[in-house]
Amino acid sequence: MQVGACRFFGSVAQVTSEEDTKEFLAKVREEHPSIKEHCWAYRLGIAPNQVARYSDAGEPSQTAGPPILRAIDHLELTNTMVVVTRYFGEKQGVGGLIRAFHLTAATVLKEAGVRQELVYIPIILECRYEQLSYILHELTKAEAKELRQEYGEKVLLTATLRPMALPDLANSIGEWTKGSVQVREAKELD
């Protein structure tokens, strides 16, 4: 992308760890060895454990990294990193830099396309037999998947659920059972 006499190059990658972000940034630096400043932003993970970072990489403070991150956030993306490399030309004002970095990031994201992936987290809860019917109804309403039931003295339920559905599910089951059943995120379901 050309803004005045400056050229901006955007690169995008799917990343799942901070190690991935370092590798991608190193790859971009190899592709543009004559440029020392590569501005970047990324967002990893899902709420409430999301991580977002950015770097202005020598550009005036807040003119590169935050606008790149806003482009990622505008599309509600995660596990995404954008690096914008600027080949210097004429000087740009702060407003021009902000617009150029944001537009370059938005353009490269649009060109790359978006792959939608539904994220599910594992949940676990234990209830009495007389509570089971209501709880199964609530799990169905919350669109829980991979439901498993183990019967013993009580019923142990495991499932997967969209992260945004967990607070409402936990609240409704907690209220109905007067706090005797707690829905919590499980570390892993086997």
- Cα–Cα distance, 143 to 159 (Å, whole number): 10
**pLDDT, tens digit, for every residue of 81-95?**
999 998 876 667 888
N- to C-terminal Cα separation, the chain = 48
pLDDT score recorded for residue 6: 78
pLDDT at residue 49 in the model: 77
Same domain, 31 and 59: yes
Q: Is residue 8 part of a domain?
A: yes
Over 90: is that where the pLDDT of 187 sits? no
> 6 and 86: one domain?
yes
Tell me: do 82 and 108 sit in the same domain: yes
Evaluate if residue 189 carries a pLDDT over 70.
Answer: no
Give the domain-ending residue among 112, 139, 158: 112
Phi-psi group of 83: left, alpha or beta (phi > 0 → left; psi -120 to 50 → alpha; rest → beta): beta
pLDDT above 90 for 48 = no
- 15 with 99, same domain: the answer is yes
Domain, as residue range, for 165: 121-185
The mean predicted confidence, pLDDT, of the chain is: 90
> In this structure, are residues 1 and 100 in contact, taking their beta carbons and an 8 Å threshold?
yes
Q: What is the tens place of the pLDDT at every residue in 113-170?
A: 988 878 889 999 999 999 999 999 999 999 999 999 999 999 999 999 998 899 999 9
Confidence of residue 36 (pLDDT cuts 50, 70, 90): confident
User: How many Å apart are CA 83 and CA 92, to the nearest integer?
Assistant: 19
Tally of structural domains, the chain? 2
Residue 176 pairs in a beta bridge with: none
Indicate the residue type of 176. Answer: W
- Which CATH number goes with the domain that contains 155? 3.30.70.260
- Cα–Cα distance between 44 and 79 in angstroms, integer? 4
Could you tell me which residues come within 8 angstroms of residue 102 by beta carbon, excluding any fewer than 6 positions away? 67, 68, 70, 71
Residues 127-138 as b or e (16 or more Cβ within 10 Å = b): beeebeeebbeb
Domain boundary (52, 86, 112) is at 112
| pLDDT score, position 89 | 65
| Mean pLDDT along residues 29-44 | 91
- Percent of the chain at pLDDT > 70 equals 93
Does a structural domain hold residue 157?
Answer: yes
Residue type, 88: F
Q: Are residues 130 and 39 in the same domain?
A: no
Shared domain check, 136 and 70 = no
Which of 18-22, 33-37, 66-70 has the least mean pLDDT? Answer: 33-37
> pTM to 2 decimals?
0.69
> Where does a domain end: 112, 145, 160?
112
